[in-house]
Chain A
Amino acid sequence: MDLSRFTKVSDYEWRVEPFGKMRVPAVIYASEALLREMDEKVFEQVTNVATLPGIVKASYAMPDAHWGYGFPIGGVAAFDPEAGGVVSAGGVGFDISCGVRTLTTGLTVADVEPMKKALADILFARIPAGVGSTGSVHLSMEEMDAMLEGGARWAVSRGFGTEADLERIEERGMMAGARPEEVSQQAKKRQRDEVGTLGSGNHYLEVQRVAEIYHPHIAAAFGLKVGDVVVSIHCGSRGLGHQIGTEFLRSMALAAKEYGIELPDRELACAPIRSDIGQRYLGAMRAAINCALANRQVITHLAREAFATLFPQARLDLIYDVSHNTCKVEEHEVDGRSRKLYVHRKGATRAFGPGRPDLPEAFRHVGQPVLIGGSMGTASYVLAGREESEHHAWGSACHGAGRSMSRIQATKRWRGRDIIEALAVRGIEIRAPSLRGVAEEAPGAYKDVSAVVDAADRAGLAHKVAKLTPLVCIKG
């Protein structure tokens, strides 16, 4: 990335003043090193987003930003319906509500280490992963609608978890305003056998050790201490979300002209919030959020069953469940006035600071957990939203490392078998349905997650709380 086009606001904030058709500035939060490494496409995309109608304050990009579709991955933007604001299918992406949840286990590394291989085997046997895998839950169309309305609440009502889980999920387990009737039959058909499946690509279930604590007070509120074993689940709304993304991207791209919206890129497909198609998309997207929440809840239940066979004393309690690809209506203060904004986070995590009534009471005083996924051999992190973050990017932080190498390059450089063996030497058990999939997801194909997290911390987006390192990884 050419830095000459930016104004340096601080060591971790870089600003592009509006030019051309930009309505607001673009702001990237990153260290100089991360910014230099970023794809030129991020500049193009973050400035394109700034041209959309009704955008408020700025178009933002997180430290892990990379080339996405329309919006960069790591892009955040808020739109005001009062000002003709839009909702963008491209601003949410294909994997609607893809996200992470992390659970404590009550176990220590000493408990798990001797049983690690058996644990990997049983998790891999019980949790459907990879292309073409189907779950044990097969939904009728009536049950599908109930799931799309109820999210994780639906899953708990069907025996997949407890009421206590719901308190620890964004939106308390159910996104309000879902409209299952706006989800096409095709999208529902794609989901019929996919509830409780991990999917593929960078989706995974990982058993992790708490390796370091940076902020003991917040870590204690989240229930984390060094040497503990936790479980993280990364997946999304599966085929249903992908199909909704595909269909609305197409119809919004065609409809934009009708609404007088000039799209610098077809992937920025959007429509006014106050339009028929905008409202239909919001209803379908919220149903997909519920699908993702239900999916992660069912997988949690399967993980609990797997743990119980080897560790009857284990108790998998949810710390929190966050989504990375969403558009949510939130109250934010703009120029001293509280406004209802449609905040798009694409490859970004909500990171509300302390005091927000939306947060569970147990950690309302320390801020929202921000769960940053790793990649098989690399660390994951737990961060916490801070009050300051709400002044930066609508209370948002990064979501992961972001790729630094294409899948094609990765398969040329590594073989899946070698990666599995190299990670085994480091004490990490990998189970995966495809060796090529492992090569494509090689840890070396990702940016340095620690550098991304440090940048988020120093930019004031979130506090760094804990570092998690992998013991077992079930790859999708």
Chain B
Amino acid sequence: MPEARWEHFTHGADIGVRGIGPTLEAAFEQAALALAAVICDPARVARKDSVEVAVSAPDVELLLVDWLNAIVYEMATRHMVFSGFQVAISGEQLAGTLWGETVDVVRHQPAVEVKGATYTELKVYRNAQGEWVAQCVVDV
């Protein structure tokens, strides 16, 4: 089975983020990395500090949106960018850790901020290869 990975997909005005991995957790972590890459190149972001987040939702798709929105919130209020993500999911609960650093406009060259994760193209499923896929469009 291929490695866990992320990709962007096209939306008319905004950007779709997609995480793919052997487990639901890995797909969520990769979707978060795809979100981080909307803003700037994660390779430029040092994993200096960590932030803990916890969200809960009645279904797994809403859980993805809440997870991504929690990251958007932490970025906005802490003025940070992130490049590392770890997730534990238990039923309706998600506990996540984000690693990153304070945004440095010159070094990180952040292109655009994300207003929020949306329900557009929102899907969490297993593909034909048995991998987990977690995706949605984010509004920028």
A73 touches B13 (CB 8 A): yes
User: Please, which residues of chain A bring their CB within 8 A of the CB of B81?
Assistant: 131-132
Interface residues on A, range: 35 or more
Q: What is the CA–CA distance of A434 and B103 in the complex, to the nearest angstrom?
A: 13
Q: Is A115 in the interface zone, CB < 8 Å from B? A: no
Choose among B10, B119, B120 the residue that contacts A409 (Cβ–Cβ < 8 A).
B10
B10 touches A408 (CB 8 A): yes
Q: Is B87 in the interface zone, CB < 8 Å from A? A: no
Choose among B58, B109, B139 the residue that contacts A435 (Cβ–Cβ < 8 A).
B109
B119 touches A266 (CB 8 A): yes
Q: Is A177 in the interface zone, CB < 8 Å from B? A: no
Given contacts A267-B119, A408-B8, contact A437 B112 (CB under 8 A): yes
Number of chain B residues whose Cβ lies closer than 8 Å to a Cβ of chain A: 37
B140 touches A407 (CB 8 A): yes
User: Please, which residues of chain B bring their CB within 8 A of the CB of A409?
Assistant: 10
Choose among B62, B79, B119 the residue that contacts A132 (Cβ–Cβ < 8 A).
B79
Choose among A94, A186, A406 the residue that contacts B11 (Cβ–Cβ < 8 A).
A406
Q: What is the CA–CA distance of A250 and B55 in the complex, to the nearest angstrom?
A: 13
Stretch at the interface among A226-234, A238-246, A370-378, A384-392: A238-246
Q: Is A458 in the interface zone, CB < 8 Å from B? A: no
Q: What is the CA–CA distance of A190 and B110 in the complex, to the nearest angstrom?
A: 18
Closest to A253 in B: B119
A403 touches B113 (CB 8 A): no
Q: Is B95 in the interface zone, CB < 8 Å from A? A: no
B118 touches A267 (CB 8 A): yes
Closest to B109 in A: A434
B113 touches A199 (CB 8 A): yes
Additional A-B contacts beyond A66-B12, A246-B69 (6; CB < 8 A): A131-B40, A132-B79, A132-B113, A190-B77, A242-B116, A402-B13
Identify the B interface with A (CB < 8 A).
8-15, 39-40, 58, 62, 65-66, 69, 72-73, 76-77, 79, 81, 103, 105, 109-113, 115-120, 122, 139-140
Question: 3 closest Cβ contacts across the A-B interface?
Answer: A131-B110, A132-B103, A436-B111
